[in-house]
Structures are given as structure tokens and as C-alpha cells.
Amino acid sequence: MAAVSLSSAVVLFSLTTIFLFSISSWEAEAHPVSTLIKKKLYNNLFLHKDDKACPANDFYTYRSFIKATKFFPEFGTTGSLSTRKREIAAFLAQISHETTGGWATAPDGPYSWGLCYKEEISPTSNYCDDTNKEWPCYPGKSYKGRGPVQLSWNYNYGQAGKALGFDGLKNPELVANSSIIAFKTALWFWMTEQKPKPSCHDVMAGRYAQTQADVAANRTTGFGMVTNIINGELECGIGSDARVNDRIGYFKRYASLFSVQTGPNLDCENQKSF
């Protein structure tokens, strides 16, 4: 084999990197989220989100959701077609539970009432962790649950705002006043690793490998681990839980509408929280 000079190797490496980046970019452009979830499917998933009975009616629009996904090009574009659909279904299922207006005998079933609320009703506190000096609370502000993922606590508002270009500490209300910002905060939480927790995206895209700590804690990869990431301290490791089952109910319905399997490990009843 002929020798390759250092300069040639550097050029080859650079070209390879550019090529791989281009392939990744092409994947995102060729298979955007909007090709996997059309407006008709979106409306079928959320049959009652714009009912007058839902405080968030007309807030969570399809247009805002699609625009928000463009800021996170790896969301719903990673892996096989079924993996992509499953991730989108899992994300929408989790935010549906967080914003549900459904009940057991609700019209069209309890899992047709996602995205009914845009902010927490009658919060028990202002969700200010005053021990967190990196993201200090702004006087008079409440960091209650807002948006699709019900973003809570000053440190989450601070980090999300910094990542998305708004002051989450001084203006947390933006998450309930702008549908695009609301969806962006949910996607930011979904896509962002917060060690020791992996990102929800990496788990559902099949990019996360269990650590020794996960094995010891019985944290198996799948939808149940995503629930553990989102609210494991309250919902996981305590046996069957109605909140966890509600999340699973949404996921099963959405996966069916996306024509994909849910995959294994749906619950976290035997998982220790992170």
C-alpha cells in the first residue's frame, strides 16, 4: 500500500468528516418529522385538545410543534423508520400524560385528551430551589409546571432558557404564552442529557447502553426508563402506579396510530430512580 502523507491524511479525514456530517444532515432533511406525522394524524392523536373544556385550547398547534422540531434536527430522524416513529409516539405520549384532561369514561377514551393544559393549576409551591445558586430564582416568579412537559423548578427554567435564547428565570411565563417556546422546552428536556440520567432521545433511539449502575438498579432501556428520567423519584420503584399506567396507555394508542410496536420494558415499577 502506498504511503499517505500527513497532509493528505488530514485532508482525507476532513473530507470524511464533512461527508458523514452531510449524510446526517441529509437524513434529517430527507426524513423530517413532518413526513412522519401529518396534520391529520396529529389531530387524530389529540382529538380533544381544542375543546372549550381544555384550558389550552388552540394553543398546541401542529404548526408550532413542527416548527419547534426543526430546532432539534436529531429528534425523530435517528435510526430506522420504525425507531423514528416510535420516538415521536413516545414523546407525544409523555407530554400527553403531563397535560392530560382525560378521565376513565371520557369521550373517545382517556387517551384522546392530551395537550389539554398548558400550565399547572393550583400549584402547591412556586417551585423555587433557593439552594441552587447557579440558577437563582427571580423575586416574585413562579417556576410551576408549564408547557407540554410541564417544565418545573428554577434550574430547569434557567437551563432551558439559556439553551433556547430566552430568560427563563425572569420570564418563565413565556412557556405558557408562546406555543413554539412551549414545544421547544419540551423537546429541549427530551433531547438533553442530565447526568446520571441519559436523554430520553438516546433511550428511545436505541443509542443508550445500560451502565453498571443501571443494571444494579434494574433500569432497563425502553419507555419505562424514559418515565424514570422524567419523574422517577415519584413514580418508579413502587410497584404498579396509575400515573405510569396512564403514560403507557397513551403510548400504546399512539404507537398503534403510527403503526409501530411499543417495544419492551414499558413500565418502571421495579426500577430504582436515578
pLDDT in tens, 11-68: 333 443 443 333 344 445 556 899 999 999 999 999 999 999 999 999 999 999 999 9
First CA to last CA distance, the chain = 51
CA pair distance 102, 53, nearest whole angstrom: 11
Residue 18 has what pLDDT? 40
Grid coordinates belonging to 201? 432521545
Residue 239 has what pLDDT? 96
Exposed e or buried b per residue across 98-118, where buried means at least 16 C-beta atoms within 10 angstroms of its C-beta: bbbbbeeebeeebbbbbbbbb
Instruction: Write out the catalytic residue numbers.
Output: 98
Residue 11 has what pLDDT? 39
Residue 31 has what pLDDT? 62
Residue 188 has what pLDDT? 98
Residue 191 has what pLDDT? 98
Give the chain's residues under pLDDT 50: 1-27
Residue 177 has what pLDDT? 98
Residue 29 has what pLDDT? 57
CATH of 119-177, picked from 3.40.630.10, 2.60.120.560, 3.30.20.10, 3.40.1280.10, is 3.30.20.10
Angle between helices 81-98 and 223-235 (to 10 degrees): 20
CA pair distance 89, 146, nearest whole angstrom: 21
Grid coordinates belonging to 89? 409516539
Asked if residues 69 and 33 have their Cβ atoms less than 8 Å apart, the reply is: yes
CA dist 148 to 94, 99, 183, Å?
Answer: 9, 6, 6
> Which residues make up the CATH 3.30.20.10 domain(s) of the chain?
119-177
Q: For residue 119, list its beta bridge partners.
A: 146
> Which residues make up the CATH 1.10.530.10 domain(s) of the chain?
28-117+193-274
Residue 3 has what pLDDT? 41
Asked if residues 95 and 115 have their Cβ atoms less than 8 Å apart, the reply is: yes
CATH of 28-117+193-274, picked from 3.30.365.10, 2.40.30.10, 1.10.530.10, 1.10.10.10, is 1.10.530.10
Asked if residues 219 and 155 have their Cβ atoms less than 8 Å apart, the reply is: no
What is the separation of C-alpha 135 from the centre of its chain, rounded to a whole number of angstroms? 22
HSE, side-chain direction, 13 A CA sphere, residue 186:
33
CA pair distance 176, 194, nearest whole angstrom: 24
